[in-house]
Each structure stands twice: as C-alpha cells, then as structure tokens.
Amino acid sequence: MLLFVNGTIHTMDPLNPHPEALLAHNGRILDLGSLRHIQEKHPGATLVDMKGKTLLPGFNDSHLHLLGIGMRLNQIDLSSVESIEALKEKLLRHQGDGDILVGYGWNQEHFKEGRMPSSHDLDATGILKPIIIHRTCVHMLVANTLAMEKAGVFEPSGLFKESGMNPLKDLVPPPDEKALAGYILSAAKVLLSHGVTSVQSDDLFMVDTSLHQLVFDVYETLERENRLPLRVYEQTNFKQYEDYLKNIPDYRQDRTSDRRFKRGPVKILGDGSLGGRTARLKEPYSDDTGTRGLLNFSPEAVRHLFQLCDEHQLDVAVHAIGDEMLQIALEALEPLKHAACRHSIIHCQVTDTETLAALDRLKPVLHIQPGFLNGDIHMAPSRLGPKRLRTAYNYKTLENLDLVIAFGTDAPVESTNPFLGIYHAVTRKDLKGFPQDGWLPGQTLSLYDAIKHYTVDGAYASYDENKKGALKAGYYADFILVDRDPFTVAKDDLKDLRVLETFVGGQSVYPLD
C-alpha cells in the first residue's frame, strides 16, 4: 500500500478535486482524502513523500502510431533540417550499414529552398543504396532512383503519395517478432517518460498486411509476460478495402476487459494531410487551385464499411482532415443505428456550417491533435485561405457543441509530449511564441479543459470512463508526478513542465534505475 502525501493532487474529478492524500493498492486507487482519515483506516500504508510536487492522472494519447514511434528510433530524423543541402549532408553522415536508408520528418516549409526534395537531390548524395525519406505528415515520401528501380516504380520527381508509397515502403525488410517487441517497448519508454500511461494506437498502418496478426500476438505475449508497461487500445487499420470486408465479420472489439492490450475500433484512413495537399477539400486548395486533395476510399465504400461495422457492433474511427472527407464520414455515420457505439473522427481539422451542424446532431467522439498547431499556424492559412480558416482548428467551437474531445499527438508525426499540446491549446501559439496574441484566439481553451481532453475524454473514447482518466477510488492507479503545478505556472511555461515519475497500475515505470 502506497500513500502519496505532501504534494498537490489534481484528480480531474469535480466532486473531489484536491484531496490531501492518495492511497494506491493492488494496481488501483483505494482511497483519496485527508491524510489523517486515510491513515486511521489503513495504518500500515507506506508513505510516499511527493516533496511538494504535483500529482495528475496519467495522460491518454487518443491517436498515435506506437510501432511507428519505435521504428523511428532506428531511422534518420530530418525534422529539424532547414535546407535540402543540410538534408543531404545528414543522410551522408548517418548512412549506417543497413541495406536501405530511411529518413523521416522533413518539411519543405522549413527549407530555405522553399521546395520539396527530389530523387535528383537524393541521387546527388552519391549514396549507393536505396533511400526513402518520409515527409513529416507520412502521407508522402521521396525516393532515390535506386529505390525506385528496386521497387519497380518510377516518378520523375521521386515523389510518391498515399498508397503509391507502398512498393517503396515494402523495400524495408519486414520486422520479425523480436523487432516488433523491441519497437513497442522502446516507444513505450518514450511515452512513459512524458507521462503517457494509455494510448489509442493505429499500429497496422506501419506494417505490411501479412504482419497484422503477428502485431496482435506480440502485444498479447508482452502482456502475458507482464512486460507491457502501458495500456494500448488498438485502432485497427485493415488498410485495403478487401481486407476490411474479409476481417470485419470476425473482429471483436474489447470494450470491457481489464487487459492492457485491447482491440478497439476499426480505423479507416479517409484522406491525407493538409501539409501534403492530400486532405480532401470541397473547394480547391487556395495555394494550388489544381487540386482538392484525395480520397483513399470512395464515399460509397466508406458508407459500406460504416454499415458493415455497425452490423457487427464495432466502432469506426475515421481519419478525416479536409471538409469534404469530414462530410463523407458524417453522412456515412448518419443512418447508423447502434446508439451504444462510440464512433469517432480522427483530426477533424476543417469544418464548415454544414459539417458543424452534423457534428452537433451526431456527436461523434473527436480525436484532436493540438500539437499540429505548431506547424499548421504557418501552413494552414495559405492552404485554406481566410474564409475556410475561420472554421478550421476550431477547438472551442467544437467544445461548445458538447462533443467529447480526446487529445493526442499522432506521434511519430508530432512529439509525444502532452505538455506541448496542452501549451498549444491554451496559448494558440507555436513553440517560439508566435503569434504573440495567439492564432484564431477565440478558439483558445482553458487549461482545465485541455487537461481533461488529455485524460478524462480519452478514457471515454475507449469505454474506460469508470476505470481511468481521473483519480477516483476504484480507478487504475495510473498517475504522474510533475515538477511544477500546471495550474500555477505561466501559460507560456506549460511546454517546459517535466514528468518526474510515472505510475501504471500502481507501479513506478519511469524512471527505471
């Protein structure tokens, strides 16, 4: 029995917001209240001195790619590169001895050349192995000539988008059981260091379809061996239309068990990204009137998949960034009958009057990534133009519709640190403090609500609202100790908060000594 004392406790439970002490036992929270009261009832409890620090519920990242985070630890990080020349130098310096060179995170918005890299740039490095480099959005990549030759595909620019990327991604040797476990555990370590104790993860997006069952098996083996240190709710992405049709009838969503790895909703990747101009818009992009983005599935196919999931009482989680994709998703949602389902929209970045009315009517759960503000503050105005911008990234408007808004990061697209997202949501600024008065400042959220979206609402999305998200008696003992109280620091300092210790099921899992 551990009795946490001598710190500030924020439970996110409005009925008991700041108890003096918290008692954890057998993986659960046993009691919260005054120290004297708890000690009288449980005289043998071991005291844990919080030394004036702050205790919060563990964060729940409502949409990320856990395997992708682990894989990236073995690839070249190009996210801080500010020119194509610097990108080439970085590839040369980190060639390693693998058969293929994989980089990620580049963003032409940061390049002084102001353009995307090409196969010619990669060829010019003189590196004699296949190279593929993923854009930060992971919806497009650039390959060198050698990679295209090996994959049997060709584009003069070397640029590939969405499913066109698959032959090139297939050049990377598939991970075996041991590699998959390694990716999961190394990603978990990063997440726990940021106080993330639960994730909702689309892992299958990251691997070939033939490995889907193996990914589930590896998670279940890790759990059986007591080696899975955080809770994972899988957003199961079957990727190909035929595979959805084949797999949905036998797929069982786990809404009730206390397992750490649980099968969650069926994930559908509806459109692409705004940065890559592949998110599907109703009107052309303001900075490229030749395109409205793309759809990965026809509206009829989306409707059919929604119906099929509904027949089998499965939730759908659909990636929708552009306003047209959002509309298609909401129209597919409209006729579904099972009121018990918690269908969700991932991203929901660009709305309009019509989709806002449908969101209000249908009340899907939203998975929102406030960390996107850091880059999109600079990119979205030119992509969308002033009119559409007024109803984009409109977190406060969505909150006012009484929707459950579960925050996350889409990592490895963005950093897994929840305090960055919380900072963006309550300041509407990028990490450099731009713009000074906040971007679309009417959409600023309160700190309490931002933390609630990262804890309580994420738990609701996975049917765990009576088990986690807040600190209450009977809930999982998933909580974090933070160096400063977020409710007393200046808003601009929220991004610098540090997690000192992370507990999952009452066990200290970060830092490990």
The first and second tokens of residue 370, run together, are: 């406030």
203 binds Zn ion (CB under 5 A): no
378: exposed, middle or buried (Cβ count in 10 Å: 0-12, 13-18, 19+) = middle
Token duo for residue 258: 């206390």
Calculate Rg over the CA atoms of the chain: 23
Enumerate the β-bridge partners of residue 201. Answer: 64, 234
Q: C-beta of 236: minimal distance to Zn ion in Å?
A: 13
| Amino acid of residue 122 | L
The one segment of 153-161, 286-294, 402-410, 497-505 that binds Zn ion by CB under 5 A: 402-410
* Cβ closest to Zn ion, residue 137 vs residue 168: 137
Q: How far is the CB of 72 from Zn ion (least distance, A)?
A: 13
Residues 360-399 as x/- pattern, contact with Zn ion by CB under 5 A: ----------------------------------------
Using the minimum distance from each CB to Zn ion, give the nearer residue, 410 or 501: 410
The span of 127-135, 182-190, 407-415, 417-425 binding Zn ion (CB under 5 A) equals 407-415
Half-sphere exposure of 402 (CA within 13 A, CB side): 4
Helices and strands, number each (H, E), in the chain: 17, 22
Alpha carbons 236 and 222: distance in angstroms, whole number: 18
* Beta carbon nearer to Zn ion, 379 or 489: 379
Cβ 344 to Zn ion shortest distance, Å: 13
**Closest approach of Cβ 63 to Zn ion, in Å?**
6
Q: Tell me which stretch binds Zn ion (CB under 5 A): 373-381, 403-411, 451-459, 489-497.
A: 403-411
Pairwise CA distance, residues 45 & 12, whole Å: 24
Whole-number minimum distance, CB 246 to Zn ion, in Å? 23
Which C-beta is closer to Zn ion: that of 324 or that of 410?
Answer: 410
**Stretch of 51-59, 246-254, 277-285, 410-418 lying at the interface with Zn ion (CB under 5 A):** 410-418
Closer of 201 and 327 to Zn ion (Cβ): 201
CB 437 within 8 A of CB 465: no
Q: Shortest gap between Cβ of 328 and Zn ion (angstroms)?
A: 18
Structure tokens at 364: 């899907």
Q: Which residue is nearest to Zn ion (CB)?
A: 410
Integer angstrom CA distances of residue 63 from 26, 233, 352, 486? 29, 10, 23, 23
Phi-psi sector, 506: left (phi>0), alpha (psi -120 to 50), beta: left
Half-sphere exposure of 37 (CA within 13 A, CB side): 10
Exposed, middle or buried: residue 85 (CB in 10 Å: 0-12, 13-18, 19+)?
middle
Q: In whole angstroms, how close is the CB of 65 to Zn ion at the nearest point?
A: 6
Cis ω on the peptide bond leading into residue 19 (within 30° of 0)?
A: no
**Residues binding Zn ion: number (CB under 5 A):** 1
Which CB, 9 or 294, lies closer to Zn ion? Answer: 294
| Short-list 356, 357, 446, 338, CA closest to 394 | 356
Token code pair at residue 222: 């890790």
Nearer to Zn ion, 188 or 411 (CB): 411
- Candidate residues 399, 410, 414, 449; the one interacting with Zn ion per rule CB under 5 A: 410
The CB-of-200 to Zn ion minimum distance in angstroms stands at 10
Closer residue to Zn ion, CB minimum distance, 121 or 410? 410
In the complex, minimum distance from the CB of residue 134 to Zn ion, in angstroms, rounded to a whole number: 13
Measured CA to CA in angstroms, residue 358 lies from 119, 305, 327, 367, 388 at distances of 43, 19, 8, 17, 17
Nearer to Zn ion, 410 or 457 (CB): 410
Question: Min. distance of Cβ 139 from Zn ion in angstroms?
Answer: 10
Q: In the stretch 62-101, what mask flags binding to Zn ion with x, by CB under 5 A?
A: ----------------------------------------
Nearer residue to Zn ion within complex by CB, 57 or 70? 70
Stretch that binds Zn ion, among 67-75, 253-261, 408-416, 440-448 (CB under 5 A): 408-416
**Interface positions with Zn ion (CB under 5 A):** 410
